Amino acid sequence: MTQSWSDRILGGFRKTSARLSLNLAGIVGKTRLTDAQLDELEDALIMSDLGPAAALRIRERIAEHQFDSGADEQAIRLVVAEEIASILRPVAKPLDIVAFPRPQVILVIGVNGSGKTTTIAKLAHLFQEQDYSVMLAAGDTFRAAAIGQLKIWAQRLNIDIVTGPEGGDPASVVFDAVKEATQRGIDALIVDTAGRLQNRRELMDELTKIRKVLGRLNPEAPHDVVLVLDATNGQNALQQVEVFQQMAGVTGLIMTKLDGTARGGVLVAAAQKFALPIHAIGVGEQLDDLRPFDADLVARVIAGVA
Ligand SMILES: Nc1nc2c(ncn2[C@@H]2O[C@H](COP(=O)(O)OP(=O)(O)OP(=O)(O)O)[C@@H](O)[C@H]2O)c(=O)[nH]1
């Protein structure tokens, strides 16, 4: 039986939600919580991967809240859900195709294994469903397997892909791709990039060069620099945002693998800390497993009131 969308989302946030539940159990107050109870609550939120800043914000909200019918677990959860939603709502922004002139160039970055290739395929599929024409560029020339994987997806999606030789210059692949996409009036050009963080200097040079070449062809390009994060990485994902911010100037995030054993609370921590748009979330390995990011649903699931 296939799982529903909210079941999958539940999957990805179950760990966070369960830990929060465990830690909230037993907190019962009158119209206001005591400082000790607020401390307990704040700890519970931090342990649920929401991060210290979001935890403090939620604590303050609860501290000022007047629980007229008593502060039981459910009443507290509702306030927690509302505050998480208010952290998430401003960052929930789909990736829209608006570039003029076309194409909109979307650079996709992230460490190897984060789900970058699959996310590119899912994004391409999403745009196709919205009747946009899409082209791919295999800018990770470092590994033949990366080029091969992307080719297979392009075939499945029936879209064109520009590739270069293994070990070739990624910037030249991107240059060719933008030229071709421009000539053909393609709406969205999605560019894969290498993700070997262990050699930061090289990667940074590579990304800088790609940006320079793009800028020469179209000063607006890249229109988007989307960082793909693996939700199962928990707090490490936050460090990756910082590193890639410095290297490539991230404009938005997509968090993947929110279906399995993910620690989805990290999404709230990222929203609070970086205020970067979260374009979508990945909840599986299939093409239609990229979903818009629904701030209210995610907030309710984490707080356990869904
Ligand atoms: N469960 C789940 N698995 C995913 C999701 N997205 C990607 N994957 C899987 O994660 C693995 C890595 O995905 P890739 O797309 O190959 O990741 P990549 O970042 O391109 O990695 P490299 O090809 O090693 O650079 C694959 O087995 C994917 O099927 C997701 O949302 N949920």
pLDDT band at 247 (very low <50, low <70, confident <90, very high): confident
Task: Please give the pLDDT value at position 1.
Answer: 45
Same domain? For 242 and 150 the reply is yes
Q: Which of 164, 160, 94, 163 is nearest to 130 (CA)?
A: 94
Ligand 1 atom with minimal separation from the 118 CA: 15
Indicate whether 97 belongs to any domain.
Answer: no
Residues of the chain with pLDDT > 90, as a percent, come to: 69
Among 145-149, 173-177, 200-204, 223-227, the least confident range: 200-204
Ligand 1 atom with minimal separation from the 282 CA: 31
How far apart are the CA of 227 and the centre of ligand 1, in A? 14
pLDDT band at 83 (very low <50, low <70, confident <90, very high): very high
Q: Phi, psi (5° rounding) for residue 166? A: -60, 135
How far apart are the CA of 230 and the centre of ligand 1, in A? 9
| 231: helix, strand or coil | helix
Task: Please give the pLDDT value at position 235.
Answer: 86
Task: Please give the pLDDT value at position 163.
Answer: 96
Q: Which of 226, 210, 229 is nearest to 218 (CA)?
A: 210
How far apart are the CA of 114 and the centre of ligand 1, in A? 6
Same domain? For 108 and 255 the reply is yes
Last residue of a domain, one of 70, 91, 112: 91
Please answer whether residues 182 and 103 qualify as being in contact, where contact means their C-beta atoms are separated by less than 8 angstroms.
yes
Greater pLDDT, 5 or 130: 130
- The predicted model gives 10-22 an average pLDDT of 76
In terms of residue numbers, what domain contains 289?
A: 104-293
Q: Is 195 annotated as a binding residue?
A: yes
CATH code of the domain in which 23 resides = 1.20.120.140
Indicate whether 247 belongs to any domain.
Answer: yes
Same domain? For 126 and 262 the reply is yes
Q: Is 164 annotated as a binding residue?
A: no
Q: Is 118 annotated as a binding residue?
A: no
Q: Which amino acid is at 263?
A: R
Task: Please give the pLDDT value at position 20.
Answer: 80
At 94-143, the pLDDT tens digits run 999 999 999 999 999 999 999 999 999 999 999 999 999 999 999 999 88
How far apart are the CA of 207 and the centre of ligand 1, in A? 21
- The predicted model gives 159-187 an average pLDDT of 96
Greater pLDDT, 70 or 178: 178
Task: Please give the pLDDT value at position 72.
Answer: 87
Split into its structural domains, the chain has a count of 2
Name residues whose C-beta falls within 8 Å of residue 82's C-beta, 6 or more positions apart in sequence. 61, 299
Same domain? For 236 and 131 the reply is yes
Q: Phi, psi (5° rounding) for residue 205? A: -60, -40
Same domain? For 80 and 157 the reply is no
- The predicted model gives 8-24 an average pLDDT of 75
Task: Please give the pLDDT value at position 3.
Answer: 64
Please answer whether residues 267 and 53 qualify as being in contact, where contact means their C-beta atoms are separated by less than 8 angstroms.
no
- The predicted model gives 255-265 an average pLDDT of 83
Pocket test for ligand 1, best of 118, 254, 288 (most atoms within 8 A of CB): 118
